[in-house]
């Protein structure tokens, strides 16, 4: 009985890693498509979201079935709970990927700001690396790694603030391009929120290992630090 339970746990973890690896890849691809005005790849990333949604539902159902059939112990129950939360975060990150893809189609062939070309790939790569390390922490039950990953969000936030300032300057100087500026701001927002969702994954890894839930970043509905804008 225990061996069967362990196999099911391992399968759930493997499904999380497969889904997470796909989300990682799509985050890179949709950002490249945005920069290069590649509407074909952007459309592919939008279409891929349906599969991600289906897998989120299936993994959640499998986790609930495992609880119902096996009556897991506390440590196992925390792992299953973490699986259910993490798969939700992965699905939400892919929603942001889909959003960037839709913005790419909205913008079409309109040129984007040179600073986006220069710095958005770095922002996306940092968010992708955060996601990769958070999933590694999950697989390895590595609390220390999970606690280190959120510090990487400082890079994402710094790039967000820089590019957001550029958008404001652009909108002020080109008032007829306000809609275009708004599209750029939403693409930036989606990328920044992807990194924030990765921090949530780290929080669940720490809970899985220790049994203690601790917020590592500002929640979605908390006030931002004085003097800084926060977009949700």
CATH number for 189: 1.20.58.220
Q: Is residue 222 part of a domain?
A: no
The pTM for the full model equals 0.90
Above 60 in pLDDT, residue 53? yes
Range of the domain at 154: 2-210
Q: If we measure between CA atoms, which residue out of 60, 102, 103, 49 comes closest to residue 84?
A: 60
Phi, psi angles (nearest 5°) of residue 167: -65, -45
Averaged pLDDT, 112-137: 95
| Each residue's pLDDT tens digit, 147-159 | 999 999 999 999 9
Q: Is residue 215 part of a domain?
A: no
CB contact burial 22-34 (16+ within 10 A = b; e otherwise): bbbebbebbbebb
Above 90 in pLDDT, residue 106? yes
- Centre a 10 Å sphere on the Cβ of residue 65 and count the other Cβ atoms it contains: 11
Overall domain count for the chain: 1
């Amino acid at each position: 009985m225990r061996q069967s339970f362990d196999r099911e746990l391992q399968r759930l973890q493997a499904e999380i890693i497969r889904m997470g690896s796909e989300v990682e890849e799509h985050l890179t691809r949709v950002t490249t498509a945005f920069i290069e005005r590649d509407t074909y790849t952007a459309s592919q990333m939008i279409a891929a979201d349906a599969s991600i949604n289906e897998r989120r539902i299936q993994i959640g159902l499998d986790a609930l079935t495992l609880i119902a059939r096996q009556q897991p112990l506390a440590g196992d129950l925390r792992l299953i709970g973490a699986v259910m939360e993490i798969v939700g975060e992965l699905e939400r990150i892919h929603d942001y990927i889909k959003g960037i893809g839709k913005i790419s189609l909205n913008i079409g062939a309109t040129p984007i700001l040179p600073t986006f070309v220069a710095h958005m790939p770095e922002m996306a790569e940092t968010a992708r690396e955060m996601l990769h390390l958070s999933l590694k922490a999950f697989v390895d039950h590595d609390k220390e790694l999970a606690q280190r990953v959120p510090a990487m969000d400082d890079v994402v936030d710094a790039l967000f603030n820089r590019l957001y300032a550029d958008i404001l300057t652009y909108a002020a100087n080109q008032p007829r391009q306000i809609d275009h500026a708004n599209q750029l701001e939403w693409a930036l927002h989606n990328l920044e929120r992807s990194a924030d969702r990765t921090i949530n994954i780290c929080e669940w890894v720490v809970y899985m290992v220790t049994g203690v839930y601790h917020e590592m970043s500002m929640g979605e509905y908390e006030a931002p630090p004085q003097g800084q804008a926060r977009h949700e």
